Amino acid sequence: MSPGPAGHVTRSPKSPRLETAPGAPLRRSLRTADGVTIDAAHDPGAESSGDLAFIVAHGFTGDLDRPHVRRAAAALARRGAVVTFSFRGHGASGGRSTVGDREVLDLAAAVAWARELGYTRIVTVGFSMGGSVVLRHAALYGAKAPGPVPGEPESAGEREGRERARTDAVVSVSAPARWYYRGTAPMRRLHWLVSRPEGRIVGRVGLRTRIHHREWDPVPASPVECVPLIAPTPLLVVHGDRDGYFPLDHPRMLAEASGGHAELWLEHGMGHAENAAAEGLLARIGDWGAAHAG
């Protein structure tokens, strides 16, 4: 379930749909490179400079309408525009979750939409699973992103597609460093949810998350393997010292793999992902993104 060729991001033929409430975000159905329909929303922000957009990548079992995702988006909207979306298999998006593999294509579609809307400085902000996705996306679409396969021609459309999906700064919050981690009780429960048929039923019925039944083949590069490929794109790694899912060796591994390029914030008293991110932390993330993008 590894991503296909970079840059084949297309929009859904559906026209934009506005919410009925005055001032509500613009909603749009996007189509990924592998043909999955993704539900997305754009908020121009309260004090936007007009060129900066944050792309929020939620955690596993979240979606763009969840209160904790909306709270994070509202905090970032004080510094720029915000694009939120639901990963495949989540919320109103199509497809099934691959738990961090092909979700890179979902993020690429959201970034490309932000650039279509006119934003020239893009900051990807991911939480938990979304934190791993923004790292993998930056390795594929960052400033040092790989070009076409040597010896194979690249069309103008493919070059344009890779540029449209490029990110200018990356913030990874509460992300794992490596795959298949089962060292905490929450992660052992998550592996049951993903790997067992009865777990996937619980995910679909109880958590509104449709999980793919196939295992990864091939296994995608892990976050810690992707981090060395991100520089010179600015990278911020944020993690709480009370995270119940991933202990502190995960963010430290990520920072070490960057060779000193990444900035590491270890947040005292913070738990896991969006639910644990305090307003002050979200404001600091917004300030960091505004200062480092472009």
pLDDT confidence of residue 156: 53
Per the listing, tokens 């990924």 go with 32
Work out whether strand 169-173 and strand 235-240 pair parallel, antiparallel, or are unpaired: parallel
Contact between residue 177 and residue 136 where contact means Cβ atoms under 8 Å apart: no
Residue 186 lies in a domain: no
pLDDT confidence of residue 19: 39
Cα dihedral 284→170→253→225 (10° resolution):
170
Question: Which CATH number is 269's domain given?
Answer: 3.40.50.1820
Residue 188 lies in a domain: no
pLDDT confidence of residue 200: 92
pLDDT confidence of residue 152: 43
pLDDT confidence of residue 141: 86
pTM for this prediction:
0.88
Average pLDDT of the chain is 87
pLDDT confidence of residue 173: 98
Domain count for the chain: 1
Strand locations in the chain, DSSP E? 10-11, 17-18, 26-31, 37-43, 52-57, 81-85, 121-127, 169-173, 235-240, 263-267
Angle formed by the axes of helices 156-164 and 103-116, nearest 10°:
90
Residue 1 lies in a domain: no
pLDDT confidence of residue 2: 45
Residue 203 lies in a domain: no
Q: Distances in Å between the alpha carbon of 290 and those of 18, 50, 54, 109, 142?
A: 27, 12, 9, 22, 17
Containing domain of residue 57, as a range? Answer: 10-181+220-292
Residue numbers in the chain where pLDDT is lower than 50:
1-22, 148-154
174: left (phi over 0), alpha (psi -120 to 50) or beta: left
Tell me: the pLDDT tens digits for 132-157? Answer: 999 999 999 866 555 544 444 445 55
Torsion sign (Cα): 154, 161, 100, 87:
negative
Residue 4 lies in a domain: no
Residue 193 lies in a domain: no
Tell me: the pLDDT tens digits for 228-274? Answer: 999 999 999 999 999 999 999 999 999 999 999 999 999 999 999 99
Residue 3 lies in a domain: no
Residue 259 lies in a domain: yes
DSSP state of 80: S
